[in-house]
Amino acid sequence: MNKDTNEQTHFGFRQVNTGEKVSLVREVFQSVAPNYDLMNDLMSLGMHRLWKRFTIQQAAIKPGQRILDVAAGTGDLSKAFAKLAGPTGQVVMTDINEAMLNTGRDRLMDAGMLGNIEFILADAENLPFPSNDFDLVTIAFGLRNVTDKLAALKSMYRVLKPGGKLLVLEFSKPVSKLLDKAYDLYSFNVIPNIGALVAKDRDSYQYLVESIRMHPNQETLKSMLQEAGFEEVNYFNLSGGIVALHQGYKF
Kindly report the CATH number assigned to the domain that includes residue 156.
3.40.50.150
Q: How far apart are the C-alpha atoms of 210 and 188, rounded to whole Å? A: 8
Q: Does 192 map to a domain?
A: no
Q: How far apart are the C-alpha atoms of 174 and 172, rounded to whole Å? A: 7
Is the pTM higher than 0.85? The answer reads yes
Q: Does 47 map to a domain?
A: yes
Q: Find residue 66's DSSP bridge partners.
A: 90
Q: Does 50 map to a domain?
A: yes
Q: Collect all residues with Cβ–Cβ distance below 8 Å to 155 and sequence separation of at least 6.
A: 124, 125, 126, 127
SS3 state of residue 249: strand
Q: Does 109 map to a domain?
A: yes
DSSP assignment, residue 198? I
Q: Does 221 map to a domain?
A: yes
pLDDT tens digit at each of 251 positions of the chain? 444 556 888 777 888 788 788 787 777 777 777 787 777 888 898 999 999 999 999 999 999 999 999 999 889 999 999 999 999 999 999 999 998 999 999 999 998 888 999 999 999 999 999 999 999 999 999 999 999 999 999 999 999 999 999 999 999 999 999 999 999 999 999 999 988 988 888 998 899 899 999 999 999 999 999 999 999 999 999 999 999 999 999 99
In terms of Cα–Cα distance, which of 180, 184, 183, 203 is closest to 193?
203
Q: Are 80 and 49 in contact (CB under 8 A)?
A: no
DSSP assignment, residue 168? E
Q: Are 74 and 36 in contact (CB under 8 A)?
A: yes
- Residue type at 45 in one-letter notation: L
- Rg (Cα) of the chain, in Å, rounded? 17
Domain that holds residue 118: 21-176+205-249
H helices then E strands: how many in the chain? Answer: 10, 9
Give the C-alpha distances (Å, rounded to integers) separating 143 from 8, 100, 123, 130, 225.
18, 15, 11, 21, 12
Q: How far apart are the C-alpha atoms of 140 and 93, rounded to whole Å? A: 12
Q: How far apart are the C-alpha atoms of 200 and 213, rounded to whole Å? A: 23
For 177-199, give one letter per residue: b (16+ CB within 10 A) or e. eeeeeebeeebeeebbeebeeeb
Q: Does 190 map to a domain?
A: no
Provide the number of structural domains found in the chain. 1
Give the C-alpha distances (Å, rounded to integers) separating 117 from 71, 95, 153.
15, 14, 23
Q: How far is CA 44 from the centre of its chain?
A: 15
Q: Does 157 map to a domain?
A: yes
pLDDT tens digits along 58-114: 999 999 999 999 999 889 999 999 999 999 999 999 999 998 999 999 999 998 888
Beta-strand runs (E) in the chain? 8-11, 14-17, 66-70, 90-95, 117-121, 134-140, 160-171, 231-238, 243-249
Q: Does 198 map to a domain?
A: no
